[in-house]
């Protein structure tokens, strides 16, 4: 998953145009972007949208947190729709177990956004119902009292913990949205940090960010050509150690080349 787009569930215009956006997933929001007095109508709008105009990309519904009074109504909606994919806010191991008890077949993208949860990353990533981990940078920065949360260094520990846990159990790792959606330069700087660390993708807060995110987290033409050449040399020589354009190639590089080509095929 290279990208996901947040869409507020109580914004009909965004729901209606969702099919036009090039993204790997949608995160339809019933939580932070929906005021308490609008949550009931948001559930109705979302239900009608998913029944009559389901988008092509996978949909994750960000429900309200387990401790929120709206949680029970959100779970009831999921059961009514037989919808299995959930973005769980303020995830903890206990909250995850509560959700799974209500919906045993749920597929969870765990949103990590409180300081304590980063000491339980491995247990959450290991959970069989969890398909990925996402960094919730804004809430985390608030809890940490970061003076400038947009600085990548501010959340380096959290990014590292999340990334290592996700990769340990072959789960998706998504970086937090960049909220200054008109600041393209800033978006690129944040994407570069996440990409260099090894994140699979980044979440968009606005559709205008999607083309940049999709491009940054997709392999370049040059990378694919190199991977194809390495795979061909490996299959021709049956060797796990050889030279390619002045650099030594061994098993990890060969495995990376196969993985890159397999990802391209899946897309």
Q: What is the pLDDT of residues 101-141, one digit of tens each?
A: 999 999 999 999 999 999 999 999 999 999 999 999 999 99
Structure tokens at 139: 């809430």
Q: What is the pLDDT of residue 146?
A: 86
Structure tokens at 65: 């947190």
What are the structural domains, with CATH classification, of the chain?
3-216 (3.20.20.60), 221-266 (no CATH)
pTM confidence score: 0.88
Q: What is the distance between the alpha carbons of residues 120 and 183, in angstroms, rounded to a whole number?
A: 33
DSSP state of 8: E
Computed over every residue of the chain, the mean pLDDT equals 92
Owner of token pair 């948001």: 42
**Three-state DSSP state, 27:** strand
Counting every residue, how long is the chain? 267
DSSP state of 67: T
Task: Give the pairing of strands 247-249 and 242-244.
Answer: antiparallel
pLDDT band at 59, cuts 50/70/90?
A: very high
DSSP state of 70: T
**174 strand-pairing partners:** 134, 201
Residue 264 has pLDDT above 70, yes or no: no
Please, are residues 139 and 113 in contact by the beta-carbon 8 Å criterion?
Answer: yes
Q: How many CB atoms lie within 10 A of CB 64?
A: 23
Q: What is the distance between the alpha carbons of residues 77 and 60, in angstroms, rounded to a whole number?
A: 13
CA 147 to centroid of chain Cα atoms: 25
Please write the tens of the pLDDT for every residue from 192-231. Answer: 999 999 999 999 999 999 999 999 999 877 778 788 888 8
Q: What is the distance between the alpha carbons of residues 52 and 118, in angstroms, rounded to a whole number?
A: 39
């Amino acid at each position: 998953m290279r990208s996901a787009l947040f869409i507020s569930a109580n914004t009909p215009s965004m729901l209606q145009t969702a099919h036009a956006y090039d993204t790997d997933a949608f995160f339809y929001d019933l939580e932070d972007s929906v005021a308490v007095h609008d949550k009931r109508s948001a559930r109705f709008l979302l239900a009608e949208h998913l029944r009559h105009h389901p988008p092509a990309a996978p949909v994750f519904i960000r429900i309200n947190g387990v401790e929120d009074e709206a949680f029970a109504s959100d779970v009831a909606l999921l059961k009514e729709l037989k919808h299995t994919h959930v973005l769980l806010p303020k995830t903890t191991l206990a909250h995850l177990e509560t959700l799974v008890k209500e919906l045993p077949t749920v597929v969870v993208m765990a949103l990590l956004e409180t300081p304590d949860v980063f000491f339980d990353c491995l247990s959450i990533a290991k959970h069989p119902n969890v398909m990925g981990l996402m960094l919730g940078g804004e809430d985390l920065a608030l809890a940490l009292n970061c003076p400038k949360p947009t600085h990548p260094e501010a959340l380096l520990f959290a990014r590292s913990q999340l990334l290592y846990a996700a990769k340990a159990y072959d789960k998706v790792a998504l970086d937090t949205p960049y909220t200054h959606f008109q600041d393209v330069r800033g978006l690129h700087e944040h994407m570069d940090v996440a990409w260099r660390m090894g994140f699979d993708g980044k979440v968009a807060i606005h559709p205008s960010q999607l083309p940049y995110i999709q491009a940054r987290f997709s392999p370049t033409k040059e990378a694919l050509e190199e991977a194809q050449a390495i795979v061909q040399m490996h299959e021709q020589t049956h060797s796990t150690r050889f030279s390619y354009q002045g650099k030594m190639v061994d098993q990890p590089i060969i495995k990376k080349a196969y993985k890159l080509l397999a990802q391209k095929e899946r897309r």
